Amino acid sequence: MSIYAVMFYVLGAVIVAATALAITRPNVMHAIVCLALSFVATALLFYLLGAPFLAVLEVVIYAGAIMVLFLFIVMMLETKPDEKILGPSRRQWLPVLALGGVCLIVMVVFLLLAAGGPGPLPLVTAAPLAFGRFLFQKYWLAVEIASFLLFVALVGALYLGRGDGTTGG
pLDDT tens digits along 29-71 = 888 889 999 999 999 999 998 888 889 988 988 888 888 877 7
Supply the pTM of this predicted model: 0.61
What phi-psi label fits residue 100: left (phi over 0), alpha (psi between -120 and 50 degrees) or beta?
alpha
Q: Which long-range contacts (CB under 8 A, 24 or more apart) does 160-166 make?
A: none
CA–CA separation, 152 vs 168, rounded Å? 27
Give the pLDDT score at 24: 84
The structural architecture, per CATH, of the domain 3-87 is Up-down Bundle (1.20)
62-102 residue pLDDT tens:
888 888 877 777 777 666 655 555 556 667 778 888 898 89
User: Residue 7: CA atoms inside 13 Å, Cβ hemisphere, count?
Assistant: 12
Domain range annotation of the chain: 3-87, 127-162
Nearest of 82, 2, 74, 5 to residue 36 by alpha carbon: 74
Give the pLDDT score at 87: 56
How open is the CA angle 77-66-95, to the nearest 5 degrees? 75
Residue positions counted in the chain: 169
% residues pLDDT > 90 (the chain): 21
